[in-house]
């Protein structure tokens, strides 16, 4: 995962992460000033984000949706590492067989 800003939330500036899944390189990017918070309300999960955060999440999903990305390719976002402090973890995963 990329390094985070001083407040422990979104990655610094416009950061990119290249992850490898079954030999396929996946490049995930973060918009500058992205703010993403994930809350578990018991019966609902709320993803709250500013415009930069929504673009960032959309970009992550588009990377996973690309041709040639294998089943099981995923990205973990966690409290203080891609998500705002106090957030519950979020895993974005591709699953063609489910």
Query: Which is more confidently placed, 15 or 64?
Result: 64
Task: Quote the pTM value.
Answer: 0.77
pLDDT in tens, 32-91: 899 999 999 999 999 999 999 999 999 999 999 999 899 999 999 999 888 999 999 999
Q: Which pLDDT does position 16 carry in this prediction?
A: 63
Q: Which pLDDT does position 20 carry in this prediction?
A: 63
Q: Copy the structure tokens of residue 85.
A: 């402090």
Cα dist from 80 to 30, 31, 35, 37, 59, whole Å: 14, 16, 11, 10, 20
Q: Is the pLDDT of residue 17 over 90?
A: no
Q: Which pLDDT does position 22 carry in this prediction?
A: 63
């Amino acid at each position: 995962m990329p390094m985070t800003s001083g407040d422990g939330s979104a990655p610094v500036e416009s950061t990119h992460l290249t992850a490898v899944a079954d030999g396929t390189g996946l490049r995930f990017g973060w918009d500058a000033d992205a703010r993403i918070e994930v809350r578990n309300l018991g019966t609902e999960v709320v993803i709250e984000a500013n415009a930069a955060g929504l673009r960032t999440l959309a970009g992550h999903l588009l990377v996973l949706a690309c041709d040639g990305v294998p089943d099981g390719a995923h990205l973990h976002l966690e409290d203080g590492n891609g998500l705002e402090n106090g957030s519950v973890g979020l895993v974005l995963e591709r699953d063609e067989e489910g």
